[in-house]
Structure 1
Amino acid sequence: MHEHRKDGAELIFLPDGCAIPNNPRLPVLLHRGAVTPGDPAAAEALFRQHGWRPAWRNGIFDWHHYHSNAHEALAIVDGAVRVQLGGEAGVQLDLAAGDVLVLPAGTGHRNLGAEGALLVVGAYPQGSAPPDQLHGAPEEGERARHAIAATADPTQDPVTGGAYPIG
């Protein structure tokens, strides 16, 4: 289900994907055109300003994975990418340089194909645990669902600085 906030950000609610749990309470946020294309330092500064710790510059893995103990912000700085969220039956989104995706703990994501030299800046809320990396194996399920429920909500939207997810 897709909704929009007053500021235009999309809220994407994902159901439990069985192997990929997703988040039962918090939506994915999609901010289109939120960062300056080609400027990873500006994306990192924006995240830092709103209480998110830039942690890496790279791409997005091409296999389903999720973090059960941390929320993640992904700024597409260069290139374009089609991502799948929520597991095998999940939604597909086309993202371009400038877009920011905010994934609540438990949200499955993978790269379905990129155009150009894809560069993504990843960030996590200040004070969050180092993110685990899970793949949807059956033995992960119960522990992952407990970790998702125990992960504190972000205090701020990494793009606007407003309350997450309301904005």
Structure 2
Amino acid sequence: MNNLKAVPYQFSDDGIIPNHPDLPVLVYPEAFKNNPHETEAIFNSHGWLNSWTNGVFDYHHYHSNCHEVLGVIRGTALVQLGGEQEEQVQLNTGDVVLLPAGTGHKRLSASPDFQIVGAYPGGMEYNTRRGTQEDRQKALAEIPKVPIPDTDPVYGKVGPVHRLWGRGTHRG
């Protein structure tokens, strides 16, 4: 694993995708570059559970009741984070992206072999919301209630989630 590094991306509410009002997306470049096959086990060992292996939907969606971590275990993908006008990020094998509750994400393109592992702090059950007004109204009430996780999904008791998502940074 690299040296406790993550690149933060902060997104604003665009009127469709709420994003998180306080917490940035964290991209951990090459976090598991040398051991992508261990991604799920490492997430699970740090208390990020309810894990699955698949891809990323090709439409904007978000989870308003929990945070989500995604680790690329094979292939590459171009994803858009934060909504239609926001950041396009290239993800490669070994990269990890941590999405705070409410953060829109969508697959724009991917290699044929692309696979990710997803997981949630404490194994929380996640919802899937899209860009509808009904979903948005529910999400705006749910997002501020999502607690900051006790552990960083990549590094455990230390790491960027503690430094960049510290307890003093969220409302609620």
Task: Report the CA distance between 1:46 and its aligned residue.
Answer: 0.8
Gaps of 5+ in 1: 1-5
Runs of 4+ in structure 1 deviating by more than 3 angstroms, as ranges, are 36-40
1:139 is matched with: 134
Native 8 Å contact 1:36 1:43 kept in 2? no
Residues 38 and 113 of structure 1, relative CA distance in 2, 3 Å threshold: farther
Task: Report the CA distance between 1:165 and its aligned residue.
Answer: 4.5
Residues 54 and 126 of structure 1, relative CA distance in 2, 3 Å threshold: same
1:3 is matched with: none
Task: Report the CA distance between 1:7 and its aligned residue.
Answer: 3.2
TM (norm. structure 1) is 0.89
> Does residue 148 of the first structure (1) align with residue 170 of the second (2)?
no
For residue 163 of structure 2, the aligned residue among 157, 161, 166 is 166
> Does residue 26 of the first structure (1) align with residue 23 of the second (2)?
yes
1:13 is matched with: 10
Deviates more, 1:57-66 or 1:133-142: 133-142
Q: Which whole-Å CA distance do the structure 2 matches of 1:83 and 1:48 have between them?
A: 24
> Does residue 109 of the first structure (1) align with residue 114 of the second (2)?
no
Q: Which whole-Å CA distance do the structure 2 matches of 1:151 and 1:139 have between them?
A: 19
- Aligned residue for 2:113, secondary structure, equals strand
2:169 is matched with: none
Q: Which whole-Å CA distance do the structure 2 matches of 1:83 and 1:119 have between them?
A: 13
Residues 62 and 38 of structure 1, relative CA distance in 2, 3 Å threshold: farther
Q: Deviations over 1:25-75 (max 9, x none)?
A: 1110111111146744x1111101211115210000000000000100000
Native 8 Å contact 2:18 2:136 kept in 1? yes
Structure having the larger proportion of residues in helix: 2
Q: Which whole-Å CA distance do the structure 2 matches of 1:60 and 1:37 have between them?
A: 22
Residues 108 and 37 of structure 1, relative CA distance in 2, 3 Å threshold: farther
Q: Deviations over 1:95-140 (max 9, x none)?
A: 1000000000000000000023111000000152x11100010122
- Aligned residue for 1:44, secondary structure, equals helix
Task: Report the CA distance between 1:18 and its aligned residue.
Answer: 1.3
Q: How does 1:16-165 map to 2 (within 5 A)?
A: 16-36=13-33, 39-40=36-37, 42-128=38-124, 130-161=125-156, 162=158, 164-165=161-162
Native 8 Å contact 2:36 2:72 kept in 1? no
Gaps of 5+ in 2: 165-172
- Aligned residue for 1:116, secondary structure, equals coil
Identity across the alignment (%): 42
Q: Which whole-Å CA distance do the structure 1 matches of 2:89 and 2:16 have between them?
A: 20
TM (norm. structure 2) is 0.87
